[in-house]
Structure 1
Amino acid sequence: MTFSIVGYDLEADQVGIGLTTVTMAAGGTCPSYSPSGDIVVVQAFGNPVAGVAGVRALEAGKGLDNAVAAMRTADPSFSYRQIGIVTRNGELFSHTGENARPWAGHIQGDNFVAMGNVLTGRPVVDAMADAFSMSVNETLAERLLLALEAGRDAGGQQAPGGRHYDERSCLLKVIGNDVGREVPALDLRLDMTSDAVTEMRRFWEIYKPVVPFRAARAADPASIPSTYDWERQNLDKNPPPSTIKGEVLDGD
């Protein structure tokens, strides 16, 4: 009961992931990352053991095919998993096991993999793919979040019996900047809320101007004001309000 997208921005030399689900704190367990910036996502009864096997193989230079083989070896329940991989060089892999709970499927484009399980249907991943493909002038972070919003608006998560699941956790992460790939350019997570994609949009809109400030502060700490003072001077004093009313959770 998760939908996600991994993507690659050739011009910016960045890779990234957007993920949302009813499961709490899934952003901390579904993806695995190599020090060189490869991303392996294992969802649908997610198994971090498989993800770690994949990124270790990629980091060792064994290539995408061997990384997938290592994941199969490490995971006896591979047929239950849904997997999306984007390497530091933009190579892609996608897999939806025959035992993944319906509706489950994926779309692999030229520079992305959109996938999901326990969804209302294929229109969810279609909408994600379209949103990512049609936003080429945006930053990678924005494109990933647009894809999650499109998936949510196309129906999101729904069990075969018709029960809808709210998005309770969300991850937005981009790797690749002037510092290197060991430290992400962006790493935002919401681990438990009742409308996680909407809240991630709110978080991202508030946080956008902080990204260049943090880089400037690291480069020239002597002349940059404190975080508190900078925020008072530069951030909107009336940020977008939260849409969450009382944090009533429904759907797990």
Structure 2
Amino acid sequence: MTFSLVARSTDGRLHGVVVASKFLAAGALVPAAAAEVGALAAQAHVNLAYRPQGLALLRTGVAAADVVAGLTAADPEREHRQLGVVAATGPGASWTGSACHPWAGGRTGDGWAAQGNILTGPEVVDALADAWLAGSTLPFAERLVAALRAGDEAGGDRRGRQSAGLLVVERGGGYGGGSDVLVDLRVDDHPDPITELGRLLTVHTMLFSRPDPATLLDLSGAVAEEVAALLGALGHPVAGEGPEEALNSWAGLENLEERLVPGRIDPVVLTHLRRVAPHVPAPRSAS
């Protein structure tokens, strides 16, 4: 019912799962991941116990192939299951039971496992794997979605489309640093779920990604003047010596607080401010 990719970033800091299916809310059932531990996708006639049990094994340092072997050996219905696992190090592993609906199968490599069932053919898993391998220059979450899109374009689930999900974990990578869940997005019921998942990831990246220190602009001079004018046009007048207090107030309402840096402004925030404010001519020297 599903095709998925489980993967680890090259530096081992990120683990993630991306999945699509002609099944309601596949993202609620298939993926599981723990930061710097591993990730897995449990699918076909899914055994939900694989998720906590698999992560427990990965936390003890068990290799991906041994996790697959342990979970399936203890499961009398294993021939109806499909499973992909990636550990903190080493190659990924995949299991496809003999009773899974065709086409069903998987491919694995260093730090990744691609698998699917009820697919149009092996070209779907091949496209998943090939796109993952070719996408090394993309940010990790975008790379996962690009691979999923390639699998869909190659044929995907032979019954059609319904849902998609993306889970990415990183130590301290969650909102405000309070969790390890960097991205957790689901499209539960949609005629084009992978396109919608990509749209949600774009919004998530704008709102919640941390700013790149190399691109930050000093909140002074012409930049500060423009920011003050834009904020004033939006009903956030600047009081005192600079626009930082008004900027923080506005950014909080726009859910951009993760991109705030004292004394500076993220170009992503400035671009959004320019987009939503009534037209205010920018000073020539502002970036």
TM-score, normalization: structure 1? 0.79
- In structure 1, what is the equivalent of residue 261 of structure 2? none
> CA offset at residue 97 of structure 1?
1.1
Q: Distance in 2 between matches of 1:80 and 1:69?
A: 15
For the pair 1:170 / 2:167, whether they are aligned, the reply is: no
Matched, 1:227 2:222: no
Structure 1 residues 19 and 60 mapped into 2: Cα distance closer, same or farther (>3 Å)? same
Query: Greater helix percent: which structure?
Result: 2
Contact 1:106 1:125 in 2 (8 A): yes
1:9-45 deviations in whole A, cap 9, x for unaligned? 1236211111011111121111233465421211111
Report what 1:44 is aligned to.
44
1:15 and 2:12 equivalent?
Answer: no
Write the letter of the residue equivalent to 1:87: A
Does the CA-based 8 Å contact 2:41-2:83 persist in structure 1? Answer: yes
Shift of 1:153: 0.6
1:136 touches 1:143 (CA, 8 Å); kept in 2? yes
Distance change (3 Å), C-alpha of 1:136 and 1:61: closer
62-71 or 195-204: bigger deviation: 62-71
* Residue of structure 1 equivalent to 2:242: none
Conserved 8 A contact 1:31-1:48:
no
Unaligned runs of at least 5 residues, structure 1: 159-163, 217-221, 238-252
Task: Answer 1 or 2: higher relative contact order, Cα 8 Å, separation at least 6.
Answer: 1
Deviation at 1:91, TM superposition (A): 4.3
CA distance in 2, matches of 1:192, 1:72: 30
2:89 paired with 1:89 = yes
Task: Indicate the SS of the match to 1:209.
Answer: helix
Structure 1 contact 169–192 (Cα < 8 Å) conserved = yes
Query: SS of the residue aligned with 2:50?
Result: helix
Alpha-carbon shift at residue 63 of structure 1 (Å): 4.4
Deviation, 1:187, is: 1.4
Change beyond 3 A, Cα 1:57–1:181: farther
Match of residue 207 from structure 1 = 204
Distance across 2 between alignment mates of 1:210 and 1:114: 30
How many Å apart are 1:48 and its aligned residue?
Answer: 0.6
Check 1:130–1:69 CA distance in 2 against 1; reply closer, same or farther (3 A cut).
closer
- Structure 2: where are the runs of 5+ without partners? 214-244, 257-268, 277-287
Maintained 8 Å contact 1:37/1:181: no
Q: What corresponds to 2:56 in structure 1?
A: 56
Question: Is 2:127–2:150's contact at 8 Å kept on the other side of the alignment?
Answer: yes
Tell me which structure has the larger Cα radius of gyration: 2
Q: 1:75: Cα distance to partner? A: 2.1
8 Å contact from structure 1 (residues 19, 148) kept in 2: yes
- The answer to whether the 8 Å contact 1:7/1:16 transfers is yes
Q: Matched residues in 2 for 1:126 and 1:73: separation?
A: 27
Q: For residues 11 and 204 of structure 1, do their structure 2 counterparts lie closer, same or farther at Cα, with a shift above 3 Å needed?
A: same
- 1:106 deviates by 0.7
**Does the C-alpha gap of structure 1 residues 181 and 105 become closer, same or farther in structure 2, counting only changes over 3 Å?**
farther
Q: Partners in 1 of 2:51 and 2:210 — Cα distance?
A: 33
Give secondary structure in 1 for the equivalent of 2:52: helix
CA contact (8 A) 2:125 2:151 kept: yes
- 1:93-137: per-residue Cα shift (whole Å, max 9, x none)? 111111111000111122311111001001111111111111111
Identity in percent: 32
1:125 match: 125
- Listed as ranges, the matches of 1:158-197 within 5 Å are 158=158, 164-166=159-161, 168-179=162-173, 183-197=180-194
Q: Give the aligned length.
A: 226
Which amino acid letter does the alignment assign opposite residue 228 of structure 1?
L
Is the alpha carbon distance of 1:62 and 1:88 closer, same or farther for their aligned partners in structure 2, counting shifts above 3 Å? Answer: closer
> Superposition pairs for residues 19-38 of structure 1, below 5 Å?
19-34=19-34, 37-38=37-38
